């Protein structure tokens, strides 16, 4: 049985910081590594802010908050990941970036360490082939915001062995998450269904069927979605949404997954959503203002 005590997280963006947060809250020691020390610092700040939110809501105590902050450390160098029993890669949704990370990280890891990816869409089997441990590699796919969303999708590659899969299941349960299992097909289950809906919402905007506000209100109040699809796209990140649609389009060779040209335009403009302050809404003022 694989015993996980120390967790490494690569990528300190919205997902990496969320994963580090819930892992530390569950009692694991956590090392966070990001290529950019500035991003690692911002990730730690994001965790502190979200812990405060949970403290205010009475979900954790002051003592929990202190203990979590003690269990977290920003790693200045990949070499620190030598300590980790499980490393979860949560870097940008681009295959070449992930491959480069594995190339860098694998030689540092303990031979028995598990390497997992939080990819939203990319083939686990293909990513595993870029590592030195395809049998100890799998997809552990968290949902955003990680401290709130109950689901984790587990995805095995062709070579993932049973002890690795079982360890990932036990790890997710320790974080109080519910797991579902998806076969290794483009975008797995959640994003295979969710992302074409978001892409269709963007086509609805592109074709002038409705404004940003009408589309989001329609789905919030007409279908009881907690967020409108354009608001959710901004929340996920339009760069990530586009990458997922591209993986679906390439992987399924079916034009029904064609990314909306307006989504492409927003990403080209750098208006990639909440994380940069602008997407389908402009978040730079007091309240979000639609950009179309
Ligand atoms: C792209 C992929 O690969 C896969 C994906 O993740 S797809 C995206 C999946 N996620 C979704 O669909 C999210 C849809 N949105 C929602 O569920 C909700 O809008 C939301 C939970 C994000 C926010 O809910 P809300 O009611 O509008 O906001 P808010 O009242 O601020 O938050 C609700 C609770 O969550 C907590 N919360 C929200 N964000 C949080 C965070 N980042 N960290 C910790 N707690 C957080 C709040 O503290 C609040 O807790 P209490 O009810 O105890 O006060
Ligand atoms: N957003 C979402 O709703 C969800 C996303 N995911 C997946 O999680 C992963 C991360 O997404 P998300 O957190 O939203 O993205 P973000 O853009 O918020 O964060 C990505 C982070 O990865 C860092 N990074 C880039 N290259 C490297 C590298 N070589 N080594 C270490 N860190 C690196 C980036 O740094 P820098 O900014 O300096 O480039 C950034 O801090 C993606 O695979 C995504 O598909 C999964 C579920 C939900």
ipTM over 0.90: yes
* Under 8 Å between Cβ of 138 and 86: no
- The structure's pTM equals 0.97
21 Cα to the center of ligand 2, angstroms:
15
146 Cα to the center of ligand 1, angstroms:
8
The Cβ of residue 256 has, within 10 Å, a number of other Cβ atoms equal to 10
* Mean pLDDT, rounded, for 11-25: 97
* Under 8 Å between Cβ of 137 and 101: no
Which residues are catalytic, by number?
Answer: 120, 141, 153, 191
- Name the 3-class secondary structure at 143: coil
Residue 58 half-sphere exposure toward CB, CA atoms < 13 A: 0
Please give the pLDDT value at position 244: 98
Is pLDDT of 260 > 80?
yes
Q: Whose CA is nearest to atom 37 of ligand 1?
A: 148
Q: pLDDT tier at 57 (50, 70, 90 boundaries)?
A: very high
> Candidates 14, 53, 93: which one to mutate for ligand 1, based on the most atoms within 8 Å of Cβ?
53
Over residues 100-138, the pLDDT tens digits come to 999 999 999 999 999 999 999 999 999 999 999 999 999
Helix %, strand %, coil % for the chain, to 5? Answer: 50, 15, 35
Over residues 65-83, the pLDDT tens digits come to 999 999 999 998 999 999 9
87 Cα to the center of ligand 2, angstroms:
14
Residue with tokens 């990458």: 243
Can you say whether the dihedral through the CA atoms of 130, 247, 186, 266 is positive or negative?
Answer: positive
> Candidates 45, 90, 143: which one to mutate for ligand 2, based on the most atoms within 8 Å of Cβ?
90
Percent of the chain with pLDDT over 90: 98
Atom of ligand 1 nearest to the CA of 54: 48
* Under 8 Å between Cβ of 154 and 181: yes
Which residues have C-beta atoms less than 6 Å from ligand 1? 50, 53-54, 57, 59, 120, 143-145, 147-149, 190-191, 194, 226-227, 232, 236, 240
165 Cα to the center of ligand 1, angstroms:
28
């Amino acid at each position: 049985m694989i015993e996980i005590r120390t967790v490494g997280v690569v990528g300190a963006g919205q997902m990496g910081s969320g994963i580090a947060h819930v892992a530390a809250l569950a009692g694991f020691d956590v090392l966070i590594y990001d290529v950019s020390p500035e991003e690692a610092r911002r990730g730690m700040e994001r965790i502190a802010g979200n812990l405060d939110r949970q403290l205010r809501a009475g979900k954790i105590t002051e003592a929990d908050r202190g203990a979590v902050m003690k269990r977290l450390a920003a790693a200045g160098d990949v070499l620190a990941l030598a300590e980790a029993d499980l490393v979860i890669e949560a870097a940008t949704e681009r295959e070449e970036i992930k491959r480069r990370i594995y190339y860098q990280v694998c030689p540092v890891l303990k031979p028995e360490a598990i390497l997992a990816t939080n990819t939203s869409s990319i083939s686990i089997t293909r990513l595993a082939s870029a590592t030195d441990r395809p049998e100890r590699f799998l997809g552990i796919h968290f949902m955003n915001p990680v401290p709130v969303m109950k689901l984790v999708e587990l995805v095995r590659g062709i070579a993932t062995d049973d002890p690795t899969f079982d360890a990932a299941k036990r790890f997710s349960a320790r974080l109080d998450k519910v797991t579902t299992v998806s076969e290794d097909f483009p975008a797995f289950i959640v994003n295979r269904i969710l992302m074409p809906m978001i892409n269709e919402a963007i086509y609805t905007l592109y074709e002038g069927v409705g404004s940003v506000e009408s589309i989001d209100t329609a789905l919030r109040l007409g279908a009881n979605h907690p967020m409108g699809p354009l608001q959710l796209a901004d929340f996920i990140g339009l760069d990530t949404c586009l990458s997922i649609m591209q993986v679906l389009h390439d992987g399924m060779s079916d034009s029904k997954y064609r990314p909306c040209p307006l989504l492409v335009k927003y990403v080209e403009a750098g208006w990639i959503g909440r994380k940069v302050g602008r997407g389908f809404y402009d978040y730079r003022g007091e309240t979000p203002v639609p950009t179309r």
